[in-house]
Amino acid sequence: MRHLTILTILFLSCNLPVNDCVEVYLIRHAEKDRSDPLNKNPHLNKKGIERSLLWNGYFENKEVNSIYSTNYNRTIETVLPVSIAKGIKPIIYSASNINYESFLKKEKGNTVIVVGHSNTIPGFVNKLIEDDYYEQINDTVNSNLYIVKKCSEEISHYVIQIDYLQD
């Protein structure tokens, strides 16, 4: 009888729904300091710092499990307020050397923020959705928020503008 009870519990636990979804929020870094055109790793300017706080406000009431950033001052600084508020250390990734299948498998069941660049974020989104849908972001646009939700073979995606900054 005891074995039958254990087998029944195991059978029922195998049929419980598993969260195989991944929700990914992808943003381009905030406004950078353009005073030195030769600087390949600038910090954020004043408007960029304000935008990083805006992103923090956006994610304040959202569950976030992981944060990914390229290894540049502007991307790390963009997500720093969220990272501090959530107590999550950003995972540094290389936009040219990421395995999307491994990323999705690792983040299964999680909500993730990815910060990158105008020429990498649309490509990252396209790889996640398995479609060449989004074009490169104009270099002056820092307000796009791409949202991708992938559950097994079901994928939803869209982009919104988060821009409450004054000029």
pLDDT per residue as tens digits for the range 88-122: 999 999 999 999 999 999 999 999 999 999 999 99
**Cα–Cα distance measured from residue 60 to residue 122, given in angstroms and rounded to the nearest whole number:** 24
CA distance 56 to 10: 42
The pLDDT, as a whole number, for residue 19 is 76
Best CA proximity match to 116, nearest among 57, 163, 76, 86: 76
What pLDDT, on a 0 to 100 scale, did the predictor assign at position 20? 87
Would you kindly state where each structural domain of the chain is located, as residue ranges? 19-161
Pick among 2.40.160.50, 1.10.3720.10, 3.40.50.1240, 3.40.50.1000: CATH of 19-161: 3.40.50.1240
Percent helix, percent strand, percent coil in the chain, to nearest 5: 35, 25, 45
User: Residues of the chain whose pLDDT is less than 50?
Assistant: 4-17, 166-167
pLDDT at 165: 56
Q: What is the pLDDT of residue 2?
A: 55
The answer to whether the pTM exceeds 0.85 is yes
Please give the biggest Cα pair distance in the chain. 77
CA distance linking residue 141 with residue 28, whole number of Å = 8
Per-residue pLDDT at 45? 98
Using CB atoms within 10 Å of the CB of residue 125, give its burial: 0 to 12 exposed, 13 to 18 middle, 19+ buried. buried
- The pLDDT, as a whole number, for residue 152 is 84
